[in-house]
Structure 1
Amino acid sequence: MNLQQLAELAGKGEIRELELLSLEGGFYIARVRLDDVEMTLLDDSGKPMRIGSTTHLRDVLQRVPPFPCVLVQHCVHDEMCGTREGPIGALRIPFSLAATL
């Protein structure tokens, strides 16, 4: 999905959620969830768009109608050390596309 497609779907109210996934290396990628499918936000060359921060995402999407967003961060420490029993879920922090003051 590219930015134009994202804007069109957001205008129709079809975006259920955008997950900003934290990846090793200090950058993020965006996964867009619709009712029945998830897609990665792509750049102009068709590769996953590398996003530097929530502020960078806000800048990129400043002209797109708002929709729910969540920052997703996996806890590598728990996976490495095995301190918990059972499945280890990702940390999910809701955030807004509205500019912060």
Structure 2
Amino acid sequence: MYEQLKDVDTIGASGTPNSQAIAALKPDLIIDQFYTEKSAPLRTIAPVAFFDWHTSGAFRNEQIAELAEAVNRESRLGERKKEYESRVTEVKSACRKQIDTPTWAP
């Protein structure tokens, strides 16, 4: 995972968005998932929508599908969804023994 992300520029630590870094990206929409009050100043850059991941009642893959629909990018989601499903199948196969025989410890 590190190799895939090592060259990615960040826009600040969680809860401390860097307005300059975000503005440099020239976003059409900013989606905040945690801190509505901290992302309020970002409204000068682009509209800010809040999506509460914690209370959505959906799994992450379902949340991402909802976001893709909201921003009219469902067609781009298809490729990533196939990759996700392939990885789930791979993990289920590789970890079959652990999945089928859970061990509980106090």
- Larger RCO, structure (CA 8 Å, separation 6 or more): 1
In terms of Rg, which structure is larger?
2
Q: Greater share of helix residues, 1 or 2?
A: 2
Q: What TM-score do the two structures reach when normalised by structure 2?
A: 0.23
